[in-house]
Chain A
Amino acid sequence: MNTPVLTRRAFTAAAGAIVLAFTLDPKRALAEGAKLPGDLQKDPRLDAWIRIDADGSATVFTGKAELGQGIVTALTQIAAEELDLPLDRVHMITADTARTPDEGVTAGSQSVEYSGTALRFAGAEVRAILLDAAAKKLAVAADTLTVSAGTISAADGRKMTYGELAAAVDLKRDATAKFRPKPASAHTIVGTAVKRVDIPRKVTGGVAYVQDMRPAGMLHGRVVRPPRYGSKLDSVDEAAAKTTPGVVAVVRDGSFLGVVAAREEQAIAARAALTKSAKWTLGPPLPDPATIHEHLLSLPTEDTIISDKRPQRLASLPPGAQVMEATYRRPYMAHASIGPSCSLAEFKDGKLTIWSHSQGVFPNRGKVAEALGMNVADVREIHTEGSGCYGHNGADDVALDAALLARAVPGRPVRVQWMRDDEFGWEPYGAAMVMKAKATLHEGRVLDWNYDVWSNTHSMRPSEPGGVNLLAAWDLADAKKPAPPRNIPQPAGGGDRNAIPLYDFPRQHVVNHLIKEMPLRVSALRTLGAYANVFALESFMDELALAAGADPVAFRLAHLTDPRAKAVIEAAAKRAGWKPGEQGGNGRGRGIGFAKYKNLASYVAVIAEVEVDRGSGAVRVPSAFAAVDSGQIINPDGLANQVEGGVIQSTSWTLKEEVRFTPDGIVSRDWESYAILTMPEVPHVEVELIDRPDERPLGAGECSQGPTVAAIANAVAHATGRRLRDLPLTPARVKAALG
């Protein structure tokens, strides 16, 4: 492929370094002192991101991790595009505390935006450096050179490969970001549906997950967790467990209890024996689940006004104005990964190596070291895929479990696999929430909007400062305290994510109420508070539209000015064959939900169709139509897959999911006590992608869940004439509403 080379004004070789002075694109030029783009800010060194190998391929480093979202493929596309290399000559190294840039946590649908942007600019700069080196060696002007598949050609036909230039370029320097990445119109790899690099081995039994690691001498570990939060281990028959076949070590440290055995089934049997003999002083009882939301509302809060738009107070209600109020609730929800969390650790010569599917190996390493009383420099954590996590599940915790067990058997790698009940019982859940909305409607328009959201924090990840957010750390004899909970601030928000409407209301007042006491363990679940806020906000918009006698689509469009927001709503309506004013009934209905995720990322509108069985109260979602604008599309098939996956996962959350507990502890421990959507219940999903090649690529992993719950809830109201404001929309709840 030939691409235009940047116009070179001059170059000189000075002090062994190539000095570059290219004409800068004014739109992309980096002003002196300006921040570097994307995560180049976190690690500006070019060779931290890209190295050119002697065989002419590139090794590309990212601090982000593959979580099943296809990020390795997308980032490979970006790097290959800028470097003018074929995909199979770009080798990606992901999150590893010893090898890659520290890009924090892979979360919030930000990897393409931050890591991808870093790779675009680093790639463009490395390519320019290679061209400059070639120009020097060939004694021609760089702007006369062309590049195709890592081979640089001069106008006279002479060629040099990246491999031949590898030794001549010095990438041990900071990026300048002064080299313009390719415009979208020149892209041949970005924007195409490149097949995922990881799928072939995942469908043929290749090594794909941390669970598949079995280094020589590996032992198997299991942990024994208490009956409920805050319990203390009084006694356990360690001697008996040690004589169980295959047991190599029983590890007890404070109330942390685990076992290491030669064979996996032996570790499981020893865990069962230890569970039986362990005597615990129980922690405090959990609240009554029947009144959990009232209980949460009774707790102290830290209140923040996150939006206050009141040009003038409404002195009195204009004639004909209507004031409406509604309260919505969501339950605790589980990540419910299909594979429980797993980690492998090896303690050798005073150093610890951990293989983990943590979303943030750098912060997790720091907290594991702190819990163990080790120097951070003596701990290495390497991301290795696990089952999909959808946020902060048990991945970080099991890494510390594995480290604690490995420390008891130095020189032997220990693989710890949580059992199903460990994952369901101990993962941090998505928080239960209460949302109250109040609005004044006048002449078909919202005149005033008030919204309050109550929630625990949505981030108790190890990356939180001021404590150690790892399960086992709280149980050790030298126990660590969890970090104090805080809300992720606006504009992204945590519990208040998407609490500020994107609609243009003349007056609005939005308050976040952070509840600091956490009766159940909580942290980040995909979308954080956005799922619940979009549910409440978009349900309330439908209630207002109904009161105004307006069509829900038209009512939304009338309150929006953002053209990209309007475009996704119109595209979804068109795709779904939306008929304005269409009546629901006979148990059938359709509804719409819309959000711009985080008010910062992808625009999504979803229209869902539902069938409600009036006898049983069961809701079925036969089909859903989504329209998404994620800015520039890196991989259309990957984007569609993420959006569709989000629609289906949200349908499951919405119809079925709720963590069950009693004062005695967590009851949801398996797939019967925490049921998810099954194959015959899954909606047919159509996704329409709106490509904006000249806009920033926006994250999409979490963009469709909020609009989906709202679309389903609105469709149920459309079908039945009854508004359900409590999630999930279980048959019992629907039946009760139908009376």
Chain B
Amino acid sequence: MPPNRPVSNDGDFMTISLKVNGTTHSVPAEPDTPLLYVLRNDLALNGAKFGCGLAQCGACTVLVDGQPVRSCVTPAGMLASSEVTTIEGLGTIEKPHPLQQAFIDEQAAQCGYCINGMLMTAKALLAQNPHPTDAQVREGLALNLCRCGTHNRIVRAVLRAADVIGRS
């Protein structure tokens, strides 16, 4: 049986180093492995989703140094000196981030598969523009696809979170 783990030319296991949600991890994977698979399979982080693998739908969005990136096309080996933030890094089910709480309050999910991308993109949007208008939220989420038709609730959740964060 061939080796289950990537092996470098001199026979050693290749590892890549990543800082995710404040913790540094060493992962046995080729440097060109998309970040998405490292997050999901090696670090057991469920938030980022596989949607297209083509950077078209946004379900896999995470923050790298605060900027939203499509983890399905971002090589994990490029990120040794970066800070990766996933939805798990925002808050927990017991202590959700205001954005997460706003999505719960607005019941802004049907199947929920796109929500990670919506929420993480919104996180970056609010960092740049803490008080967006309805239209600005829609523009900011223009490249994130939703199929269930939950769009308007998602916009309301982002506006609600902006309001809550602004008042805190």
Q: How far is the CA of A671 from the CA of B110 in the complex (A)?
A: 20
Among A154-162, A301-309, A541-549, A677-685, the stretch in contact with B: A677-685
Q: Which residues of A contact B7 (CB under 8 A)?
A: 245
Chain A residues with CB under 8 Å of chain B are 67-70, 195-196, 198-209, 211-212, 214, 220, 242-248, 262-265, 268, 336-340, 385-388, 390, 417, 419-420, 637, 641-642, 644-649, 652, 670-672, 676, 678-680, 682, 684-685
Asked if B130 is an interface residue, CB under 8 A from chain A, the answer is no
Q: How far is the CA of A419 from the CA of B47 in the complex (A)?
A: 19
Known A-B contacts A203-B96, A203-B115, A214-B41; the reply to A338 vs B56 at CB < 8 A is no
Q: How far is the CA of A644 from the CA of B54 in the complex (A)?
A: 29
> Which of B47, B53, B139 has a CB less than 8 Å from the CB of A420?
B53
> Which of B1, B4, B149 has a CB less than 8 Å from the CB of A644?
B149
Tell whether, in the assembled complex, residue B145 and residue A676 are in contact, meaning their CB atoms are under 8 Å apart. Answer: yes
Q: Which residues of B contact A199 (CB under 8 A)?
A: 103-104, 107-109, 112
Q: Which residues of A contact B33 (CB under 8 A)?
A: 263, 265
Give the nearest-CB partner of B44 in chain A.
A214
Could you tell me which residues of chain B, from 31 to 53, have a CB within 8 Å of some CB in chain A?
A: 33-34, 37, 40-41, 44-47, 49-53
> Which of A195, A339, A685 has a CB less than 8 Å from the CB of B51?
A339
Q: Considering residues B104, B110, B148, B149, which has the most beta carbons from chain A within 10 angstroms of its beta carbon?
A: B149
Could you tell me which residues of chain B, from 45 to 88, have a CB within 8 Å of some CB in chain A?
A: 45-47, 49-54, 56-57, 59, 86-88
Q: For residue A316, give the distance in angstroms from its CB to the closest CB of chain B.
A: 49
User: For chain A, what secondary structure do more than half of its interface residues adopt (helix, strand, loop), or is it mixed?
Assistant: loop
Tell whether, in the assembled complex, residue A645 and residue B2 are in contact, meaning their CB atoms are under 8 Å apart. Answer: no
Tell whether, in the assembled complex, residue B111 and residue A68 are in contact, meaning their CB atoms are under 8 Å apart. Answer: yes
Tell whether, in the assembled complex, residue B145 and residue A204 are in contact, meaning their CB atoms are under 8 Å apart. Answer: no
Tell whether, in the assembled complex, residue A646 and residue B155 are in contact, meaning their CB atoms are under 8 Å apart. Answer: no
Top 6 nearest A-B pairs by Cβ distance?
A68-B111, A648-B149, A388-B111, A645-B149, A205-B47, A262-B4
> Which of B46, B92, B104 has a CB less than 8 Å from the CB of A212?
B46
Known A-B contacts A200-B96, A390-B147; the reply to A245 vs B53 at CB < 8 A is no
Q: For residue B97, give the distance in angstroms from its CB to the closest CB of chain A.
A: 9
> Which of A338, A390, A419 has a CB less than 8 Å from the CB of B57?
A338
Q: Considering residues B1, B47, B113, B142, which has the most beta carbons from chain A within 10 angstroms of its beta carbon?
A: B113
Give the nearest-CB partner of A337 in chain B.
B147
Tell whether, in the assembled complex, residue B34 and residue A208 are in contact, meaning their CB atoms are under 8 Å apart. Answer: no
Tell whether, in the assembled complex, residue A679 and residue B144 are in contact, meaning their CB atoms are under 8 Å apart. Answer: yes
0/1 string, B89-131, CB within 8 A of A gives 1? 0111100100010011001111111111001000000000000
Q: Which residues of A contact B135 (CB under 8 A)?
A: 680
Q: How far is the CA of A679 from the CA of B3 in the complex (A)?
A: 45
Tell whether, in the assembled complex, residue B50 and residue A340 are in contact, meaning their CB atoms are under 8 Å apart. Answer: yes
> Which of A205, A262, A337 has a CB less than 8 Å from the CB of B116?
A205
Give the nearest-CB partner of B135 in chain A.
A680
Give the nearest-CB partner of A220 in chain B.
B41
Tell whether, in the assembled complex, residue B52 and residue A641 are in contact, meaning their CB atoms are under 8 Å apart. Answer: no
Q: For residue A389, give the distance in angstroms from its CB to the closest CB of chain B.
A: 8
Give the nearest-CB partner of A648 in chain B.
B149
Q: How far is the CA of A625 from the CA of B86 in the complex (A)?
A: 37
Tell whether, in the assembled complex, residue A645 and residue B44 are in contact, meaning their CB atoms are under 8 Å apart. Answer: no
Tell whether, in the assembled complex, residue A419 and residue B41 are in contact, meaning their CB atoms are under 8 Å apart. Answer: no
Tell whether, in the assembled complex, residue B110 and residue A645 are in contact, meaning their CB atoms are under 8 Å apart. Answer: yes
* Listed A/B pairs (14) with beta-carbon separation below 8 Å: A199-B107, A199-B109, A208-B46, A209-B49, A246-B2, A340-B50, A340-B51, A387-B147, A644-B149, A670-B54, A670-B56, A676-B147, A678-B143, A679-B142
Tell whether, in the assembled complex, residue A196 and residue B109 are in contact, meaning their CB atoms are under 8 Å apart. Answer: yes
Q: Which residues of A contact B132 (CB under 8 A)?
A: none
Give the nearest-CB partner of A672 in chain B.
B56
Tell whether, in the assembled complex, residue A204 and residue B111 are in contact, meaning their CB atoms are under 8 Å apart. Answer: no
Tell whether, in the assembled complex, residue A682 and residue B138 are in contact, meaning their CB atoms are under 8 Å apart. Answer: yes
Q: For residue B42, give the distance in angstroms from its CB to the closest CB of chain A.
A: 9
Q: Which residues of A contact B29 (CB under 8 A)?
A: 263, 265
Asked if B16 is an interface residue, CB under 8 A from chain A, the answer is no
Q: Which residues of B contact A339 (CB under 8 A)?
A: 49-51, 59, 113
Known A-B contacts A200-B96, A200-B104, A685-B152; the reply to A205 vs B46 at CB < 8 A is yes
Tell whether, in the assembled complex, residue A247 and residue B2 are in contact, meaning their CB atoms are under 8 Å apart. Answer: yes
Tell whether, in the assembled complex, residue A206 and residue B109 are in contact, meaning their CB atoms are under 8 Å apart. Answer: no
Give the nearest-CB partner of B55 in chain A.
A671
Asked if B153 is an interface residue, CB under 8 A from chain A, the answer is yes
Tell whether, in the assembled complex, residue A265 and residue B37 are in contact, meaning their CB atoms are under 8 Å apart. Answer: yes
Tell whether, in the assembled complex, residue A388 and residue B113 are in contact, meaning their CB atoms are under 8 Å apart. Answer: yes
Q: How far is the CA of A173 from the CA of B118 in the complex (A)?
A: 48
Q: Which residues of A contact B86 (CB under 8 A)?
A: 205
Give the nearest-CB partner of B51 in chain A.
A338
Known: A248-B2, A264-B40, A388-B111. 6 other contacts (CB 8 A): A205-B87, A209-B49, A248-B1, A388-B110, A671-B54, A679-B142
Could you tell me which residues of chain B, from 7 to 38, have a CB within 8 Å of some CB in chain A?
A: 7, 29-30, 33-34, 37
Q: Which residues of B contact A264 (CB under 8 A)?
A: 37, 40-41
Q: Which residues of A contact B108 (CB under 8 A)?
A: 199
Tell whether, in the assembled complex, residue B2 and residue A338 are in contact, meaning their CB atoms are under 8 Å apart. Answer: no
Q: How far is the CA of A390 from the CA of B113 in the complex (A)?
A: 13
Q: How far is the CA of A244 from the CA of B7 in the complex (A)?
A: 12
Q: For residue B100, give the distance in angstroms from its CB to the closest CB of chain A.
A: 5
Known A-B contacts A246-B3, A339-B113, A670-B56; the reply to A637 vs B107 at CB < 8 A is yes
Q: Which residues of A contact B112 (CB under 8 A)?
A: 68, 198-199, 202-203, 208
Q: Which residues of B contact A670 (CB under 8 A)?
A: 52, 54, 56
Tell whether, in the assembled complex, residue B46 and residue A206 are in contact, meaning their CB atoms are under 8 Å apart. Answer: yes
Give the nearest-CB partner of B157 in chain A.
A203
Q: Which residues of A contact B93 (CB under 8 A)?
A: 200-201, 204, 206
Q: How far is the CA of A645 from the CA of B108 in the complex (A)?
A: 11
Q: Which residues of B contact A263 (CB under 8 A)?
A: 4-6, 29, 33, 37, 41
Known A-B contacts A199-B104, A646-B149, A671-B145; the reply to A262 vs B87 at CB < 8 A is no
Q: Considering residues A201, A339, A390, which has the most beta carbons from chain B within 10 angstroms of its beta carbon?
A: A339
Q: How far is the CA of A646 from the CA of B145 in the complex (A)?
A: 16
Q: Which residues of A contact B46 (CB under 8 A)?
A: 205-209, 211-212
Known A-B contacts A196-B109, A264-B41, A680-B138; the reply to A203 vs B50 at CB < 8 A is no
Q: How far is the CA of A201 from the CA of B116 in the complex (A)?
A: 11
Known A-B contacts A338-B51, A338-B57; the reply to A205 vs B45 at CB < 8 A is yes
Q: How far is the CA of A209 from the CA of B112 in the complex (A)?
A: 10
Give the nearest-CB partner of A649 in chain B.
B149
Q: For residue B84, give the distance in angstroms from its CB to the closest CB of chain A.
A: 13
Give the nearest-CB partner of B139 in chain A.
A680
Asked if B151 is an interface residue, CB under 8 A from chain A, the answer is yes
Give the nearest-CB partner of A647 in chain B.
B149
Q: For residue B11, give the distance in angstroms from its CB to the closest CB of chain A.
A: 13
Tell whether, in the assembled complex, residue A417 and residue B50 are in contact, meaning their CB atoms are under 8 Å apart. Answer: yes
Asked if B159 is an interface residue, CB under 8 A from chain A, the answer is no
